[in-house]
Amino acid sequence: MPMQKKHIFPITGFLALFFAAGLLLLPQLKGGGEKSSGYALARTPSKAPVPVITVIAASETFTETLEALGTTRANESVVITPTLEERVVDILFEDGDSVRKGQALVKLDDGEARYMLEEARATLREQQKQFERTSKLAKTNSTSRSRLDEERSLLEIAGARVALFEVRLRDYTIRAPFSGILGIRQISSGAVVDSDTVITTLDDTTIIKLDFTVPETYLGVLKNGMTVAARSPAYPDRNFSGTVSAISSRVDPETRTVTVRARIPNPDRLLKPGMLLTVDLVKDRSQSLVIPEEAVILDKDQKFVLVVTAENTVEKKEIVTGRRSPGKVEVISGLNAGQQVILQGLTRVRPGSSVEVVEIRTDGRLSGSAVRS
């Protein structure tokens, strides 16, 4: 049986092949190692400055206020009604008219009253003549003194009757008791009215009275002449200023509050009786260092602000705050006037961070989203 030949590689051939492959791979392995080492040693590029919006800490007039709700009332207000029962013959006004004191509003049928007045005047003229005749007789002793006195009394009575009917005649013309604005007309021409009939309303609104209540704990600071500022949702961009004119002499035992009345000039008649206003009663005014409340960071019992240094880095400062007004807080210590306090972008920075001030606010108000917090 013939033997099969076997091809056997010499071991030296395998070693030579392995060595050659190693030589081919060595430059790549070396290059890869250099790249890996290069990435490990590369320096991380520095972060760009964080954009922030700041506000300048400044000394300003700090107003300490007490907020309340109040109801407006007219300076003078009346319901116009007749004083007698009669038919309406003429209406001399329109709804909402502005009228002067003494201006005629309604005329009632005064025919009977005029007749009675003329009759009284005729009686007076006759009595005057009779008194003059008696006086002449008395001068010649042709009549007694008592007769003259009787005629004088009758003359005075006749004069009084004329005066009475003249006053009554005036009641047939209904006039405005003071200058003001009329309300809605409630009667028609030809209607019979009496003392219970409402003709219209009349309000003097050149001055508005504003009544509001405050807790009795503020009695020690309440006084006439204090400044109030009132606001209404009807006029969101307007403030109505006035002064305290009266403080109630009694405290409500149930609510423990006292009623305060302020007077507010109302030359353009924007305020109407019965409106509900938000009232800020100015308790105190003083110069103080003030910043927006949004800039204050609370950390347990401590308060901080982040300020921008001259090198445009962030510095954390602990502050002590005092009084508050809407949107603002008084800084008692820890901050100086003129320092830039970060207002927007607070959550993106920390002490030592590099920042770029993109806007400096003067009023402290946040407007829009130029910088994310």
pLDDT at 364: 53
List of residues 6+ apart from 47 with CB closer than 8 A: 354
Q: What pLDDT sits at residue 369?
A: 40
Contact between 88 and 191 (Cβ < 8 Å): yes
Contacts with 250 (C-beta within 8 Å, 6 or more apart), sequence order: 258
| pLDDT in the model for residue 363 | 63
**What are 16's two structure tokens?**
């030579």
Q: Which domains does the chain have, with CATH numbers?
A: 51-61+287-361 (2.40.420.20), 66-74+205-286 (2.40.30.170), 82-107+173-198 (2.40.50.100), 110-171 (1.10.287)
Give 240's contacts (C-beta < 8 A, 6+ positions apart): 208, 229, 230, 231, 232, 264, 266, 270, 271, 277
Q: pTM here?
A: 0.60
Mean pLDDT by 10 residues, the chain (373 residues): 44 46 45 37 57 89 84 96 94 95 95 90 90 81 78 90 90 95 95 95 96 93 92 94 96 96 95 95 83 90 92 93 84 91 90 91 53 45
CA distance 314 to 247: 51
Q: Where are the beta strands (DSSP E) in 293-348?
A: 297-299, 302-308, 314-325, 328-333, 340-344
Q: Which residues 6+ apart lie within 8 Å of 244 measured at CB?
A: 222, 223, 224, 225, 226, 228, 260, 261, 262, 281
What span, in angstroms and rounded, lies between the C-alpha atoms of 92 and 265? 29
Give, as one character, the DSSP assignment of residue 235. Answer: E
| Per-residue confidence (pLDDT) for residue 145, from 0 to 100 | 77
Would you state the pLDDT for residue 286? 80
pLDDT for the residue numbered 282: 82
Q: What are phi and psi of 245, to 5 degrees?
A: -110, -20
What pLDDT was estimated at residue 368?
A: 40
